[in-house]
Structure 1
Amino acid sequence: MKKIVLNDFNALHSLFGNLDENIKIIEKNYNVNITSRDGEIIIKGELHQTNQVEEIIQNLIKSIQSGETLDRQRINYVIQSVKVGESEKLEVLDKAFVCVTSKGKSIKPKTIGQGQYINAIKNNAVTFGIGPAGTGKTYLAVAMAVRAFKNNEVNRIIITRPAVEAGESLGFLPGDLQMKVDPYLRPLYDALYDILGAETYNSYKERGLIEVAPLAYMRGRTLDNSFIILDEAQNTTKQQMKMFLTRFGFGSKVVVNGDVTQIDLPTGKKSGLVNAIEVLKNVDGIHFMYLTERDVVRHELVKKIILCYDQYEKKQKHIAEKKQDHKHDRRHDQKQKNTSNSKPSN
């Protein structure tokens, strides 16, 4: 049996949640019983399990006391981090801070990977954020851009992405050029609206302090003292990626985001992001940050979906490689047979 003293009723209520929903998540993962009495949290169960649960609860209490609101995603993430022995890294998340949204909400990393991603952006001139959907690549990059702008580290924010259709044809969109490309840029607008507010964003945009544009608009420019984000970079060609990475000038910071499992380029065209990983992997000042399904902060089913697709694609790749090896062996055997048959008899 383990006991944790917590003489803070509000923190205790936040920890347990409505109808003890938070504690039930922990009990579901461990064969323990958790109760509270007179400012004490009592954990009953096997020693190994109670030790881990104590560690989980202590981490959750620290999160609550740092102003974090517990939700299912956060609790499950702490549980998984303790299980894999990474609990000591969780404290960094509670202390990390990026900026405040227009509605007064603090933006902080929600996973260890996100925390490392933010630190990479802080400490490098060029950062590649590579990972699946839902890992916060775009949102955190935009938040870091706003932070740098408000701290007078840069004079403007430039956000771009390639205008490539994601698997379906959109046809001839109505309106002027801006109206035609806006659907491709909508996720970027959403992040800016949430962090800055629509009024502030529009004010900055009118003054030329923020620019959201298709990648093609970057050609021929040199961008000094700017925070530049390239989103959906997996859909760039090799030529587009080279063009983009040679645009930034003195005092600028670049973030390139993409998911190499969701490439929408025509068959036969190599992704500029995949090529950049190969070409630039050993360049000082360029950091490649790889986020995984553990960093997904959307609905918990998203993580399961990503894992299922990843396993399926690995299985299909393995099957294809075995078929290729089998074909190669057959050709080799046939070649040897032909050679043997062509030899003159004595």
Structure 2
Amino acid sequence: MADERQRMQLKLNESDDLSMLFGAHDKNIKLIEEHTSTIIRTRGEVLEIEGTEENAALVTGVIEALQELIRRGINISAPDIVSALKMAKSDRLAFFVDMYEEEIVKDRNGKPIRVKNAGQKQYVSSVKNHDVVFGIGPAGTGKTFLAVVLAIAALKKGQVQKIILTRPAVEAGENLGFLPGDLKEKVDPYLRPVYDALYQIFGTDHTNRLMERGVIEIAPLAYMRGRTLEDAFVILDEAQNTTIAQMKMFLTRLGYNSKMIVNGDTSQIDLPKGTMSGLVHAERTLQNIKQIGFVNFEASDVVRHPVVAEIIEAYEKASLRKDG
């Protein structure tokens, strides 16, 4: 109803970096308008927000939270706006600024890497407090990237001596027995997100040097058999494609002073029909072990383009209708 729309005003400070707040060509403001059915106008040092009372109040809260980040010297971009809006809509905006307080590590250009949403914050906290953490949820939630970042942070602090990254080579034919010389080119395409994270923090040359020295090891899951992994940060990616036996084999490799992260998306299982996923089984079997943490990411935790979360939700609804 038109008469339900109200106008609220928000005073801006001269010292605020308004170009950062508004974004290039006002794209940040347009993003907020789009997600809240509001109209935002600039009148000198005042922002006028037109919308329902609830939406106008939500927008005011979001803009004030973003201003606080900018004052702290944090560069904001579209993913930060989307996170603020999501958290405001679920009454968690009070925690939004807190998310940015902790810097996990700096990338090779000195840019701080921080968590992007509540799901990621819970994930980081769980990794700190558990020896083994399962990150379960859709692609795009930053599970792989964050796991690698946390591993690098632990390596830099001297908490571990090496990083081991592995995945079940379902598509690469884990049982082909190919020679190690062929390994890199066969496994690389599936580990692209892992390499992207390593390159962003260490750069290509330094990453390759660390791999040559064995400080970073990337191998298919079959290569973990018979080993005990001590003083290591071990990441199993695409864990939904492990069998129960493979998952048990992997988890029992855990040695002293080591951490394990197991990431996967139970909606993307590529195992032969009738084979139970080791990830699904582990989630049901290991819930009561104190030193194992489970973090479930939602479609709302996706840090890609906002429409990606909507695509995931639409597919989930379609799948539920089919299963029903």
Corresponding residue number in structure 1 for 2:243: 237
AA matched with 1:59: A
Distance 1:84 1:268 in 2: 38
Alpha-carbon offset, residue 31 of structure 1: 5.0
Q: CA deviation at 1:221?
A: 0.5
Q: Distance in 2 between matches of 1:308 and 1:204?
A: 42
The reply to whether residue 90 of structure 1 matches residue 96 of structure 2 is yes
Say yes or no: does 1:279 pair with 2:285. yes
Q: Per the alignment, in what secondary structure is the counterpart of residue 282 of structure 1?
A: coil
Give 1:87's aligned amino acid: L
Deviations 1:270-323 (A, max 9, x none): 1010110111011101000000111101122221221111011101110xxxxx
* Preserved CA contact (<8 Å) 1:162 1:236: yes
Identity of aligned pairs, percent? Answer: 47
Is the aligned partner of 1:78 residue 2:84?
A: yes
Q: Can you give the 5+ residue segments of structure 1 that lack an aligned partner in the other structure? A: 167-171, 319-346
Are 1:60 and 2:75 an aligned pair?
A: no
1:140-159 pair list within 5 angstroms: 140-159=146-165
Q: 1:15 to 1:231 in 2, by over 3 A?
A: same
Q: Partner of 2:100: helix, strand, or coil?
A: helix
Alignment of 1:109-258 (within 5 A): 109-165=115-171, 176-258=182-264
The answer on whether the counterparts of 2:138 and 2:265 sit within 8 Å (CA) in structure 1 is: yes
Distance 1:29 1:251 in 2: 45
Between 1:145-154 and 1:59-68, the stretch displaced more is 59-68
Paired with 1:45 and 1:248, the residues of 2 have a C-alpha distance of 55
Summarize deviations over 1:182-237 as a string: whole Å, max 9, x none.
33333322221122111111121122111111111100011111111000000001
Q: TM-score, length-normalised on structure 1? A: 0.84
Question: Match of 1:95, SS?
Answer: coil
Equivalent residues of 1:14, 1:70 under 8 A apart = yes
- Unaligned 5+ runs, structure 2: 1-6, 173-177
Per-residue CA distance 1:141-176 (angstroms, 9 max, x = gap):
00000000000111111111110129xxxxx99x73
Alignment of 1:309 onto 2:307: no
TM-superposed deviation, 1:66: 3.1
Deviations 1:63-101 (Å, cap 9, x if unpaired)? 222333333333233222212211112122221221111
Work out the number of aligned pairs and report it: 315
1:54 and 1:10, CA in 2 relative to 1: closer, same or farther beyond 3 A? Answer: closer
> So what's the TM-score if we normalise by structure 2?
0.90
Q: How far off is 1:53 after superposition?
A: 1.7
Q: Given the alignment, which residue of 83, 101, 111 partners 1:105? A: 111
**Post-superposition CA distance 1:234-281 (Å, at most 9, x none):** 000100000000101111011000000000011111101011011101
- Alignment partner, residue 39 of structure 1: 45
Q: Cα RMSD between the aligned structures?
A: 2.4
SS at match of 1:134: coil
Secondary structure of the structure 2 residue equivalent to 1:288: strand
What SS class does the counterpart of residue 115 from structure 2 fall into? coil
- Conserved? CA contact 1:96–1:115, under 8 Å: no
Instruction: Give the counterpart letter for 1:74 in structure 2.
Output: D
Amino acid at match of 1:40: V
Residues 31-86 of structure 1: per-residue CA shift (max 9 Å, x gap): 54433344333334553333222111111112222333333333233222212211
Structure number with larger C-alpha Rg: 1
Moved more, 40-49 or 302-311: 40-49
